[in-house]
Structure 1
Amino acid sequence: MTRCSAAVAALALWLTPGAGMAQTELQFGHVGNPGSLFSQSADEFAKRANERLGDDYEVVVYGSSQLGSDTSMLQKVKLGQVTFTLPSTVMSSVVPQFGVFEMPYLVSDREHMARIAEEVVKPMLYPLAEEQGYKIIGIWENGFRQITNNVRPINVPADLDGIKLRTPKGKWRVRMFEEYGADPSPMALSEVFTALQTGTMDGQENPLVQIYSQKFQEVQDYLSITNHVYTPAYVTVSANHWQQLPADVREVLESTAEELQGYVYEIAAAQDEELLGEMEAAGMEINEADQQAFVDASGPIYDAFAEEVEGGRELIDSALELAE
């Protein structure tokens, strides 16, 4: 098959209606389980978009890693085999500058993140994503991340010493936890429950809603509130294949993704409050970590990012300047 015919075949798959369906199916793949913020966000996006798209197109959501890991779905999006995906940390493995969101305690709250989205992500990071073949049409949320494990409560970085900690794929998260003294290993989200259950990993770090929806509270004893990183999530499509959709369809999808940002922030904040009680009821021991101790230990990772990533210092400074 020639490169041209392969591209045509991929586009045909991207825009072909499913069997027995009247509409063209626009697949939205993500790694979140039912009840997760990813699931709620993508389902609400599909509901709102489908109300406006008419009879020719339909957004269909495939969660729980049905279409693959974050990394594989990004590749499928680029090839035109999946329409949308919702990467978070993994974007830093595609565009190094997205690693700015791996910097601990960079984002102070969701209002700060909203300003960063408008003044840093869109003008500075969107174009870099397009250079790699991706178009971002919305900025949603993965959330403020916390640490769970089966060894001890984590109060200060020294408590992480020797703990085998699962992280998402992204070198800065790994380096951050190495700096704190842990033994971090990247792993696909779909593999984490078994790794925790069998002891292959002692712990992991994720937002509360991801922890709860993945049922990690069933195989973890300690939950430490560190808020060490805030991770956005990006509604991502293929820069090339996106242009093959009709202009009115693109407008509906892009405006719906944009307008959903406020909804995502609202339900995320509510879930952060509610889920602590659910975790405690599940038998987890919960502690508030000494966040200043983590901040104090984070200088080297900022310095390394600024030195190793082109434009890294400017990205850090631009984001921090937007804090109030």
Structure 2
Amino acid sequence: MMRLAKILTGTALVCVLASPALADKMTLKFGHVGKPGSLFETSVNAFAACSNKALGDAAEVQVFGSSQLGKDKELLQKLKLGQVHFSLPSSVMSSVADEFGVFEMPYIIQNRDHMRRVQAELMESTFQKAAQAKGYRIIGLFENGFRNITNNTRPIDKPEDLAGVKLRTPNGAWRVKMFKLYGANPTPMAFSEVFTALQTKVIDGQENPYAQIWSAKFQEVQKYLSITGHVYTPAYVLVSEKHFAKLPQNVQDALTQCGRETQDFVYEEAARLETDLLQKLKDGGIQVNTADKAAFVEASKPIYDEFATSVDGGKDLIDTVLRLAEGS
């Protein structure tokens, strides 16, 4: 944390002291949907600070959060057009390529050490390959985190408690399938629209990691927080394969290196927030319960079966991810 603070301070000082001659250096835009105070914001700022220190006068990474440059699907399109240079998609990647849907399988990722093993074995051979086939490249792996359910109807202990609950989900087919299986009424919606939809009772609830719940202030419009931890969602530092390849090699190398280096900081910060923010949510008055994980795991079997039979190589992918959990 001290190292990061020094980098951030140094980066700010460089910006203040920069001479007019540096005004023409390459600007690289990083758009994301995270709100102020979110893990996304902290993660992207850390990546930008690392990159700007490494790039010096060659280029500058500028950050635009809170969906300023577009929602997730818009940012994916803008990457292709070269209008933004980086985005930080999470669940939406399951709609880009089927392989990313494995992270939508409930409870398949046990913890961050498990995720590191999956990354080491499958990132280049499976997920990078799938991203490149769609015109993208992953230059860093961060996280959105372990997701939990908030709503205004009732505490959620077992899947049947979700019956009839109108629940916002990200735009991903597998999340919708999962919550339909549990009996909820899943409603895909852009993250930037969720607070108003909860406030006006268009939807009853949503599911997100604590960092997203807290930074978006969902606790102000929700009565219940149920700790389900039903899905762990990675987040991907994504670029356009075509446009990234046009950058000078030294710029590509610096950005890729910072993508790798920032991951440790992101994981440490995410783990800290899981503890700190849960306590803040409790202190804020939202009613918290721990759900029956075993009941959710049992109810999730059909979605594993569907992924295994409907996605090319799906069964092998599931088996490999589960095997890599053995060291958890």
Alignment TM-score > 0.5, same fold: yes
Whether the aligned pair in 1 keeps the contact of 2:214 and 2:281 (CA below 8 Å) is yes
Q: Which residue of 1 aligns with 2:246?
A: 244
* CA deviation after TM superposition for structure 1 residue 275, in Å: 0.6
* CA deviation after TM superposition for structure 1 residue 122, in Å: 2.5
Q: Give the aligned residue type for 1:231.
A: T
**Aligned pair count?**
305
- Higher mean alpha-carbon deviation, 148-157 vs 113-122, is at 113-122
Q: Which residue of 1 aligns with 2:69?
A: 67
Where in structure 1 are there 5+ consecutive unaligned residues? Answer: 1-19
Instruction: Say which SS state the counterpart of residue 43 (structure 1) adopts.
Output: helix
Q: Which residue of 2 aligns with 1:78?
A: 80
**Take 1:56 and 1:255, find their aligned partners in 2: how far apart are those partners?**
15
Write out aligned runs for 1:1-324 (5 A): 21-323=23-325, 324=327
* CA deviation after TM superposition for structure 1 residue 121, in Å: 2.5
Q: Which residue of 1 aligns with 2:19?
A: none
Q: Give deviations 1:127-184, integer Å, cap 9, x for gaps.
A: 1110110001111000000000000000000000000000000000000000000000
What's the TM-score, normalizing by structure 1? 0.93
Whether the aligned pair in 2 keeps the contact of 1:22 and 1:55 (CA below 8 Å) is no
Q: Give deviations 1:55-107, integer Å, cap 9, x for gaps.
A: 12000000000011100000100111100000000011110111000000000
**Take 1:29 and 1:228, find their aligned partners in 2: how far apart are those partners?**
27
**Take 1:182 and 1:21, find their aligned partners in 2: how far apart are those partners?**
52
**Cα RMSD, aligned residues only:** 0.9
**Take 1:122 and 1:181, find their aligned partners in 2: how far apart are those partners?**
36
* CA deviation after TM superposition for structure 1 residue 23, in Å: 2.1
Q: Which residue of 2 aligns with 1:16?
A: none
Whether the aligned pair in 1 keeps the contact of 2:32 and 2:66 (CA below 8 Å) is yes
**Take 1:31 and 1:172, find their aligned partners in 2: how far apart are those partners?**
21
Whether the aligned pair in 2 keeps the contact of 1:137 and 1:258 (CA below 8 Å) is yes
The share of aligned pairs that are identical, in percent, is 57
Instruction: Say which SS state the counterpart of residue 21 (structure 1) adopts.
Output: helix
Whether the aligned pair in 1 keeps the contact of 2:58 and 2:251 (CA below 8 Å) is no
Whether the aligned pair in 2 keeps the contact of 1:22 and 1:56 (CA below 8 Å) is no
Q: Give the aligned residue type for 1:134.
A: Y
**Take 2:272 and 2:178, find their aligned partners in 1: how far apart are those partners?**
28
**Take 1:94 and 1:286, find their aligned partners in 2: how far apart are those partners?**
34
**Take 1:55 and 1:41, find their aligned partners in 2: how far apart are those partners?**
23
Where in structure 2 are there 5+ consecutive unaligned residues? Answer: 1-21
* CA deviation after TM superposition for structure 1 residue 21, in Å: 3.0
Q: Give the aligned residue type for 2:122.
A: V
* CA deviation after TM superposition for structure 1 residue 123, in Å: 1.6
**Take 1:121 and 1:197, find their aligned partners in 2: how far apart are those partners?**
39
* CA deviation after TM superposition for structure 1 residue 314, in Å: 1.1
Instruction: Say which SS state the counterpart of residue 34 (structure 1) adopts.
Output: coil
What's the TM-score, normalizing by structure 2? 0.92
Q: Give deviations 1:173-219, integer Å, cap 9, x for gaps.
A: 00000000000010000000000001000000000000000000000
* CA deviation after TM superposition for structure 1 residue 54, in Å: 1.3
Whether the aligned pair in 2 keeps the contact of 1:168 and 1:187 (CA below 8 Å) is yes
Q: Give the aligned residue type for 2:227.
A: I
Q: Give the aligned residue type for 2:43.
A: S
